[in-house]
Structure 1
């Protein structure tokens, strides 16, 4: 009897087997590295014997780079979780929106050193005798430099969600849990990925401040590439600084190739439009994962947990959407919520005012407001120049598939590279040329903040539906009309998100850009950032509180009077719904 053998997939199976082996080995290697690096975070440690510097032996650079990278990814995971919870609550819960959005403005305006001055003592006390407390403080500092931009972007995608998606969710009676994972996250995936990539770059920018800590007249250093650069810069060793920069370039390129590039290519599946892109982004790593059967098997196992989770969340009132309340019950809940929140804000404000009066005195307020005005002028200059430069470039990259394929990796690498690693070189140049940091500080601030505008404009331009592009091409719109009627309205919501985060990032960057040191020489610019950095280093709680409060006042005031109005205009007139 003649036996026949199935031929289906015969040519594909070896390739899939190779892909399975490669994915398995890669996952095993990553898991081993995580365990190896995490083990070093729990070593014995006390504040009295803690080192204030790290070794600048080049042989330690790979280990330092791995420790820094682990902190960055832990902070990224925490930022994504915070983004999902906070942005969804602000967009879906009517009573909390008026509190959560202003609170987010304030949190964004608080500099990294402001968080460290409050949290580092608590984290050290939480893990006595272990370096894990300092690690948590460093990760939390990186988290505060990543989370706000992602939250703003995801919140904007929720409030500007196309109306047909909302109607379909209600007609299908999706639970809030189902709607979140099947509608909200997919519709906001593209801006979330792009802003996550930008936030990751923002975390690199503050890596030095989060690993080489100077708080309350105490200096701590964690093994990491940021602390390595800080130590080499203090020693005036430009050779080792350049060596660390080279390692950083390799690490940023590696993260881009192995993580961000596959993620951006994968997120294209969630693009909402009627026509297909002329040239979709590609990734060799993503192609390898798609050939492998391991992700599919994991998806089947994890997918079985969805139904039990959905049933369990029904207990907490998340089974139906929307939740239904009587008008009287809703008004009573609004009154109680408003009274409680107003009471907490009033109590905190009174305590802060009394504390400032007892420590620094009220006469210091006028001086700090003037310093804030000087830094405000630098921020405005940065945003205006960044808009004029990066909006045309971002549109050109986002709307040309071939240019985007070549330019996006370069832009991602430039944006992810921690610009403050170049601060020692720029500081040396400023010292040699005699240029004041009052002007050079604008350049240093822009190195960390300008990319928010570029990334959001690229994301907005690439998200313009291709049917609209084809209609504009068929109508042969003049260039000026093409910009005015298609491009600017389409990218306006994304630009507002980039502008507000760039302004917030510039305020935060002023902490490390208005006071820089190299080889024992310290340059200080007149401004609020230098004031807060000096107060944090000396442990002056009154000046720290006053400086952070004034910075929050400027940021929130600018957001309320300018950026939020643009946000509402974008939601009302320029959303694709």
Structure 2
């Protein structure tokens, strides 16, 4: 959608989609060998999912580095299985919320609630469900692990696509109506292309979020249920329990190799391809180079013809005249019928809410005492203090760094992969440093375990500040330079107002990530030494380990309420103000 974008398709003017097998060239042979090899490895890994559940318990996780490639492959397969499920969920959930006013009244607040629930809160309930669904099979544990990773990816992607579908420019909507596109054609030809840049970006961030929780997804401990699925996460868990620094460093190296591999093979080509669908032209568009993967695919013959044939088939599917044409007359409800239907709708929702509230009250009054609830709320305020302090510190550090990187597209481009590495590191990998330092210097865990909370969440701020600075209009920067606006005045009057909407988006995501990371950061273990800080995260982690479902439910509900109240009272008003007063149009 931007002007003068380079063509990154695989087609060529002289290429034919009907090539005999004798046209197989060296590039075809190389890529086919790679694809077949990966398929064989993936099939071998998936085959273990049908084994009895006793097999993982009896076969311990080996810290020998020779086992690490196999563990890395199985973790990667779980990550991409969760990403595939997240994409399906995103298209269904976000589209329904964007297309239906009444569905949005339920789905959008529900998405806020789902984002606020800590990931270990899902794990406590889903393990029982999936193990009961596939009793005695590894498949149940694998699905529980994949679902845990799914919950760390899907909400961010769904919310991003919902915002993109709601932000399609009016003039493009009018053009679609003018061309008489049906609802199906408009969705695939206009709305999905508008959402692709956000979807690719959020997919990258969601993969990083999945890595952050991979230890908990592969090392399942809920009460008496203890399952260690072969993977990098369980490898790190065993290395921490055995105080094996070498194994931890080997796991870090394996993670770096995997992230580099799928960034180069998948996300870098997707990022360049997604730039074709940007609705605005930015300075970054000038430095986009064709990835080596696309250049290699362009040199193939059979693979290129197969891919182009598949893309042609998908274009035909997207062009099917399904649904009602947008330009035709659409009957609307009369004011009386509209008020009547709305009244019935809200009445039904109110009745459902009252019934749910009554059931929650009956359960809560029998399972909890007032003192127990008050204690958990106080622990929530301890965690809130940590979240606010770490958000403030991360903002002071990364806003200037993000502006510096974003002002130069080449720097921003190089920083992208580095930030992906940093965002993917699980907090558990830093347990040896923090536990050893706290014990050696006799420090207070309540204070010095707090930085673990922002290890993954802080990068949301940096990512969004870089994006906001890169999208800042160059002519406004030139005006400030011509008028010699410098120093604090330049920050207050030019750059900070321009990046505030992007910063708030990153700060909101970082806040949610920090609450989730509280479970990992308020309890640190290294060997036989376990340090705990007072807070809601430590309460949920301990209840999960003990298998106390009622305490897990109480902690999850209280944490969700804290996050929702912060969203409603702080983040949403600030975002609305930034959208009204600070949006560059």
Counterpart mapping for 1:139-150 below 5 A? 139-150=146-157
**Aligned pair 1:190/2:197, yes or no?**
yes
Is the Cα contact below 8 Å between 1:202 and 1:416 reproduced in 2? Answer: yes
**Deviations 1:206-248 (CA, angstroms, capped at 9, x unpaired):** 1011111111332111111111111121122222222222222
Task: Tell me which residue corresponds to 2:451.
Answer: 443
Task: Tell me which residue corresponds to 1:90.
Answer: 97
2:394 and 2:25 mapped to 1: Cα distance? 49
Q: Give 1:170 shift.
A: 3.2
Is the Cα contact below 8 Å between 1:356 and 1:362 reproduced in 2? Answer: no
1:321 and 1:216 mapped to 2: Cα distance? 60
Q: Give 1:264 shift.
A: 1.9
Task: Tell me which residue corresponds to 1:567.
Answer: 575
Task: Tell me which residue corresponds to 1:39.
Answer: 47
Q: Give 1:141 shift.
A: 0.4
Q: 1:465 to 1:133 in 2, by over 3 A?
A: farther
Task: Tell me which residue corresponds to 1:298.
Answer: 307
Task: Tell me which residue corresponds to 2:245.
Answer: 238
Task: Tell me which residue corresponds to 2:553.
Answer: 545
Task: Tell me which residue corresponds to 1:4.
Answer: none
2:26 and 2:476 mapped to 1: Cα distance? 42
Q: Give 1:203 shift.
A: 0.7
Q: 1:165 to 1:30 in 2, by over 3 A?
A: farther
1:108 and 1:141 mapped to 2: Cα distance? 13
Q: 1:259 to 1:308 in 2, by over 3 A?
A: closer
**Aligned pair 1:520/2:509, yes or no?**
no
**Deviations 1:330-373 (CA, angstroms, capped at 9, x unpaired):** 44443333233333333223222322222232321111111001
Is the Cα contact below 8 Å between 1:52 and 1:219 reproduced in 2? Answer: no
Q: 1:362 to 1:318 in 2, by over 3 A?
A: farther
Q: Give 1:508 shift.
A: 0.5
Counterpart mapping for 1:277-296 below 5 A? 277-293=285-301, 294-295=303-304
2:395 and 2:329 mapped to 1: Cα distance? 40
The SS at the match of 2:248 is: helix
Match of 2:118 among 111, 116, 123: 111
TM-align CA RMSD: 3.0
**Aligned pair 1:136/2:143, yes or no?**
yes
Q: 1:306 to 1:375 in 2, by over 3 A?
A: same
Task: Tell me which residue corresponds to 1:457.
Answer: 465
1:310 and 1:68 mapped to 2: Cα distance? 37
Task: Tell me which residue corresponds to 1:337.
Answer: 345
Match of 1:386 among 386, 394, 407: 394
Q: Give 1:462 shift.
A: 2.8
Q: 1:475 to 1:98 in 2, by over 3 A?
A: farther
**Deviations 1:72-98 (CA, angstroms, capped at 9, x unpaired):** 111111112222222233333222323
1:145 and 1:364 mapped to 2: Cα distance? 29
Q: Give the stretch that moved more between structures: 457-466 or 37-46.
A: 457-466
Task: Tell me which residue corresponds to 1:250.
Answer: 257
Q: Give 1:9 shift.
A: 6.6
Q: Give 1:155 shift.
A: 2.6
The SS at the match of 2:370 is: coil
**Deviations 1:407-458 (CA, angstroms, capped at 9, x unpaired):** 2222222223334322233223322222222112321011021011111222
**Aligned pair 1:350/2:358, yes or no?**
yes
Q: Give the stretch that moved more between structures: 233-242 or 60-69.
A: 233-242
Q: Give 1:555 shift.
A: 0.3
1:376 and 1:398 mapped to 2: Cα distance? 31
Task: Tell me which residue corresponds to 2:423.
Answer: 415
Q: Give 1:475 shift.
A: 7.0
Task: Tell me which residue corresponds to 2:128.
Answer: 121
Task: Tell me which residue corresponds to 2:540.
Answer: 532
Counterpart mapping for 1:179-218 below 5 A? 179-218=186-225
TM-score, normalised to structure 1, is 0.89
2:155 and 2:254 mapped to 1: Cα distance? 28
2:136 and 2:189 mapped to 1: Cα distance? 45
2:14 and 2:186 mapped to 1: Cα distance? 36
Q: Give 1:482 shift.
A: 5.3
Is the Cα contact below 8 Å between 1:528 and 1:547 reproduced in 2? Answer: yes
Q: Which runs of 5+ in 2 are unaligned?
A: 1-12
Q: Give 1:500 shift.
A: 1.1
Q: Give the stretch that moved more between structures: 61-70 or 490-499.
A: 490-499
Match of 1:504 among 505, 512, 516: 512
Q: 1:239 to 1:342 in 2, by over 3 A?
A: same
Q: Which runs of 5+ in 1 are unaligned?
A: 1-7
Q: Give the stretch that moved more between structures: 21-30 or 261-270.
A: 21-30
2:110 and 2:476 mapped to 1: Cα distance? 37
Match of 2:88 among 81, 89, 102: 81
TM-score, normalised to structure 2, is 0.88
Q: Give 1:54 shift.
A: 2.2
Q: Give 1:384 shift.
A: 1.5
1:154 and 1:549 mapped to 2: Cα distance? 27
Counterpart mapping for 1:416-435 below 5 A? 416-435=424-443
2:554 and 2:361 mapped to 1: Cα distance? 9
